[in-house]
Each structure stands twice: as structure tokens, then as C-alpha cells.
Structure 1
Amino acid sequence: MAAPTQTIEVPSDAELMQAQADLWRHSLYYLTSMGLRCAVELGIPTTIHRLGGAASVSDLMAALSLPENKLPFFRRLMRVLVTGGVFAADGSGDAERFGLTPLSRILVDGVVADEHHSQRCFVLGPTCRHSVEAAFNLAEWFKKELASPVPSPFEDLHGARLFEESTPLLDPEMDAVVNEARAAHDNLGIGTLLRECRDLFKGVNSLTDCCGRHGETARAIVKAFPHINCTVFDLPWLVNQAPRDGVVNYVAGDAFHSNVPPAQAVMLKLVLHHLSDDDCVKILGQCRKAVPSQKEGGKVIVIDILVDPSLGPVMFEAQLMMDMLMMVNTRGRQRDENEWHHLFTKAGFSDYKIAKKIGARAVFEVFP
């Protein structure tokens, strides 16, 4: 018996042309990512900054020591990056000059400033060969029967987990880049956080930055609130790399198995989105044990991405792309408020409130 003929609704002419254009965009978005990576590898943002904040194509080609016959191709690269908001452009033809936007300013390297954390490595990390290969293998990963806890596509393909001691064995250069990318990402906006959330630290005399790595956030907190006694708690190999400047205390341990150093408040800043729900509950439970009761001022401060479509389509898309990044490279995820509520409840907390929303992130006060 012949299979029944299947039919499909045919788009109108206008819908068909729009669908084709959308298909081009979605299929070719990776070229925007690679164009951005190219700009970072060439040092275009830093070069524009060093040339006074605006430069012509000829100025850039000379400063970057690029062959003259690449000029028309360079113009095409810059046109795409200007359209994507990476750079600004003024004038046309030979008089056209390129400037920095807020996006490209955070890609400038070599600037010494308290609140400037260059995001250069954040571009290089997610677009590195190992990460792209893991994403390229996504369909095969979905089809595989994998025992729980399910490894990420990155872990399944490469046999190593990001941000752990196994990563340097895979590729030490990549490990250095992704760790610098994570540090740059986590440290961007510390000043904004401290200005917008001053009440968060009101009455707090001691704080443990759980999984605080090298202590950049803790040192910024002490600088803004000198009365707070800050302790950074993280794995020995991270704590051993931290600068001993006397500003904060360091304690080595494993948040899954060791006691978190007790304090009036414990902070988890951009930690949980790298972890599975089960691992989040374990760490949150350890943090809950380290703080006094809510009546005594005890709380856990969670700073992380809060998926929320009300922020608008651009910010929401950025959050979903970050969720895909977590899915491909880690066992973690980005969570909406219901999912955060579920984690806090399962970890034994009695209540929480959102103290502040800052861009794509939220600051939670979670009470024992």
C-alpha cells in the first residue's frame, strides 16, 4: 500500500523571501562569531583605542601591519562588525573612520583601571576549537545513550571537564584561556553590583565567598566595605594561586565535601550556572550550614543569571545563548525564577527574595 501523500502549507511570496533571509542569518551566525574572534586576535579594539578612539581603514591596516592587498577584505570584515554593534562608523569611503562602542570597549586589552576587566578571552574561549567541536557534535550527543549524570557534549567528546584539573591535560593553552575568560566574565560589573546593592551588605560583618577563586570579588567588597571580614573558599589548586596581600583570608577545600567557613553571609557569585541541579543543591546545603539563622542575620547571597523574557528580546536571547553554552560545555544551565525557587527549597532554605536585577543577572538573598 502506497504511503499517503503528505502536504505542507506553502508560505506566501513575502513569507518565503523572509524565511530564506532568516535561514541565511541563522545558518551563518557563526561567521559573526568568527569575525569577532578575528577582530580580537588581530587586536582591532585595542588598536583603535591606542589610535585615539577613532581610525580609518588605512590607519588600522598600518598599525596592525596587514598586507595592503587585504584592504578590501578588511573593509568587509569591519562592515559586518559595525552592523553587529561591535564598532561604530562615521563617514564613508576613504573618509570613513571606525570607533569603539560599549561592546568593543570591554574588549580593549592592556588598560589599567579598577572596573575594566577585558573580555578578550571570553570571545576566545567559547569560539576555541574544542568548544566548537563539541557544539558540532551536538546531534550525535543527543542520540547517544549516556548514563546519569549525563556528561556535557564537551566532556563526552574530549574526556575532560572544563574548569577542572583534567582540562590542562587536554590542552594547557585552552585551559588558560577559558579560565581567564571565566575570571573576566565573573569580575565584569563588580563595581555596578556594589553600587546598586549597598544594602545587601548592610549589617554584614563577615562573609565567605564560596568558590571565590582568586578573590577578586572579595577584595572589591573589602575595598567598598572595610569593616567586612572576607574569606575566600575554593579548591586548593585555585587558592594556592591567589595573591597573599592580607586583604582577604583564604581557605582551601571542596565545597561538596568540606565545611564551608562559617560567616554571617556566604556568597555564591556566578557559580551555580556551571553545575547540575543536584550539585547546586549539595553546595547550597553546605552554605546553609555555614550561616546563622535568619533572625541572627544569616543569609546566602546568590548572584547568577535569571532567565526572564520580560527583559526584552535581545537580553533574553543572550540569556538563552548562555544557556546553550552551559549545555554544550558544562553540566550546568541558566534558570528562571521557578527553577531557582526549586533549588533553594530543596536545599532546605525557608525563604528568599530577589534583592536586585542587574542586566541579565539577579541578586538573591536566600534565608536559612
Structure 2
Amino acid sequence: MAADSRTIVAPTDAELLQAQADLWRHSLYYLTSMALKCAVELHIPTAIHNLGGAASLPDLVTALSLPQTKLPFLRRLMRLLVTSGIFASESGAEVETYRLNPLSWLLVEGVESEDHTYQKYFVLGTISRHYVEAGLSLADWFRKDLPAPLPSPFEGLHGLPLFHETTKLLDEELDRIVNKGKAAHDHLAIGTVIRECGDLFKGLQSLTDCGGGDGTTVRGIIKAFPHIKCTVLDRPEVIEAAPAHDSVTYVSGDMFHSIPPAQAVMLKLVLHFCNDEDCVKILEQCRKAIPSKQEGGKVIIIEILLSPSTGPIMYEAQLLMDMLMMVNTKGKQRDENDWRDIFIKAGFSDYKIVKKIGARGIIEVYP
């Protein structure tokens, strides 16, 4: 074989120095996550909110009951969090003040607002010891020749799956945190979906929300569309803890085996926990539960829709969520081609991407 005629061009001094700085950033990003966790555990966003939306370092030290000796260290923590976009800051003539931005607004406790969903437990779950240890085991997981079905790195390391009835046997506090975090993650932006994609629900007489948890989503839908008869399907232990509501029917069951009939079935942030084969099985049950397309039958899917067109920051966030699924579950995030293949295998005739909202896509799938 002839030698490759291409030659490797050595980086310039400036490129190597930039590369070294980039390597520092990528190697040390975990410290930003730990700084965020620290801010959440100290309740810094809530303290800034309670101080009227702006706080100096002395204000924060007093409000958080921290020793005065920690003030210079708090300055360094806040400097990183401001630079990372987690807080905003203003430099006045005498003192720097810190303010909330949309990101830290999500971490304020006790706010009564329809579109505010407290995300503390999402942060604490994803930066928990068990998640981090699973990520650290990734290279070992790749090296192992494991029989199908492949366990996730999380399950391979800890011996139990995540988001499962047995997770509490590993750690009850972890199970509590990740379920609270999942609920907060799922409920965020449902108000936006209802406002910007209201046509999804116009004309519907009945809707089944699969994996609908405590019914927060359907209660929001009923508020906007009171005529829709809504059913929530979820695991027995979830349904038992759900609050009663006159307009919501709660059904305990398994979406792999049967789904309560309705004109539309909704799957909101459910399928990304599943491999492709399980997605097909669930969607086959959905198809059985709805009428024909001519009678208005459809499945509404709300999931992350991988696409570079969302921009580099949003796309990176989507890919990080895909890695989160790979490390901790048997699921994944999918692009449009992935979804199309699954819909065809499940026996559906057509689909439409209704709208992209942030990292998520809203898809209608027709029998």
C-alpha cells in the first residue's frame, strides 16, 4: 500500500496555547456543575429573590448565615457562576451586586407562578454521587462484552436500574430526588406548549396522558380546554399518590400492555427512557387506543428533537441530555430520522412536527 501523501501540519504556538485553555475548560467543567450544586444547596437564588432581586456579597453572607471569613471565597464562587451564565451581575460605583437571570429564576424556591417550575431536584439528581460514579465507569462499560439486553452504565455499576421501583433499594434519598427532578423537568414549559400549540387540543373530546404522573400536565390542559375528558395512566405507586381532581380519571397500569382508549394519546418526555424496541411496543398500544385519522385519532409526542439547526448551545444541551440517557438509562434522545423509523415500525401512516419549542419538538403521529 502506498504511503499516505498527506502530511500532518503541526499546530502553531498560538493554536497550542488556545488548545491547552480549551482542554482546561473541558477537563474542569465538572467544577461548574459542583459550583451550581453548591449554590442550590446554599439557597443562593432564593436569597437573592428574597432580597428584592439584587444582593451584594455582604448581603448574601448575612442572608445565608455564612461565616464572614467565607466572603472572599463566595466572591470566587459567584464570579464563576456569573461567567457561566447562571447569575447576572452589576458593578456599581462601590459594590458589585448579583441578580437572577432566567436560569437562576428556575432555582428560586417558593415562587407562585404558573410557568415557574422549581428545578432544584433536577440539579441535585444529575450531579448526585450515583450519577457521577456511573459516568466515571463509562470506559469500563465500553470495554465489557455484555450480553443483550445491555444494562446501562448506571445499572452495570450499581446493580439496579434508575427510575424503577427497585431504585430505592439502592438509595431511598436518591430515588426521592430523581423522581422529584423528573417531575420538575417534565412539567416545565407545558404552559408554553398550550399557548403556542393550542391547535393540538382544539376539537379533542378525550385525551390519555401516558406516564402523566400526578396529573399536572392534564390539569393545565383542562384549564385551557375544559371540555376535554382527560385520563392519566401511570404506575400504581404514582397513581396512589396523585391528588384527586374532578375532571381527571386516574388509571394505574402498564403502557406496554394496555392504554385507556381516547381520541388522542399523549407521551410527554416518556420515550427517551426507552430503547427503540420498547418505543415501538408502546406506540403499538397507543395505536390500538385511538380511532382512525379520519375520526381525529392521533398520538401527541413531546420529546427532545436532536437537531444542529437549534444552534450550537441548544444542540450541545440536547447531546448532553442524550449522554445522560446513555449513562443512566437504556434510552436515548432522537433526531427526526430516528423518530420516523420508529413510527413506521409501530404501524403509523404519517406524522407532523407541529413546532419546536426550545430543545423539544411537538410531534403529531397519525394511525
TM range (shorter): over 0.9
**Structure 1 moving runs of 4+ over 4 Å:** none
Q: Distance in 1 between matches of 2:105 and 2:159?
A: 36
**Does the CA-based 8 Å contact 1:355-1:363 persist in structure 2?**
yes
State the match for 1:244 in structure 2: 244
SS at structure 1 position matched to 2:126: coil
Q: In the alignment, does 2:95 pair up with 1:77? A: no
- Equivalent pairs: percent with the same residue? 65
State the match for 1:133 in structure 2: 133
Q: In the alignment, does 2:364 pair up with 1:352? A: no
Q: Which amino acid aligns with 2:144?
A: K
Q: Distance in 2 between matches of 1:247 and 1:59?
A: 46
Q: Which amino acid aligns with 2:285?
A: Q
**Does the CA-based 8 Å contact 1:344-1:366 persist in structure 2?**
yes
Q: TM-score, normalised by structure 1?
A: 0.96
State the match for 1:175 in structure 2: 175
State the match for 1:334 in structure 2: 333
Superposition deviation, residue 217 in structure 1: 0.4
- The 5 A counterparts of 1:1-368 are 9-91=9-91, 95-257=95-257, 259-368=258-367
Q: TM-score, normalised by structure 2?
A: 0.97
User: C-alpha deviations, 1:284-314, integer Å up to 9, x for none?
Assistant: 1111100000011100000000000011100
SS at structure 2 position matched to 1:304: strand
Superposition deviation, residue 133 in structure 1: 0.3
SS at structure 2 position matched to 1:89: strand
SS at structure 1 position matched to 2:266: strand
Superposition deviation, residue 84 in structure 1: 0.7
SS at structure 2 position matched to 1:182: helix
Q: Distance in 1 between matches of 2:134 and 2:8?
A: 34
Superposition deviation, residue 112 in structure 1: 2.0
Q: Distance in 1 between matches of 2:119 and 2:94?
A: 30
Superposition deviation, residue 75 in structure 1: 0.3
Q: Distance in 2 between matches of 1:279 and 1:208?
A: 19
SS at structure 2 position matched to 1:354: strand
Q: Which amino acid aligns with 1:188?
A: L
SS at structure 1 position matched to 2:334: coil
Unaligned segments of structure 1, at least 5 residues: 1-6
How many residue pairs align between the two structures?
361
User: C-alpha deviations, 1:109-151, integer Å up to 9, x for none?
Assistant: 1112222110111111100000000001110011111111111
SS at structure 1 position matched to 2:352: strand
Q: Which amino acid aligns with 1:41?
A: E
Q: Distance in 2 between matches of 1:161 and 1:93?
A: 54
Cα-Cα RMSD: 1.1
Q: Which amino acid aligns with 1:322?
A: M
Change (3 A) 1:93 1:155: farther
Q: Which amino acid aligns with 1:361?
A: R
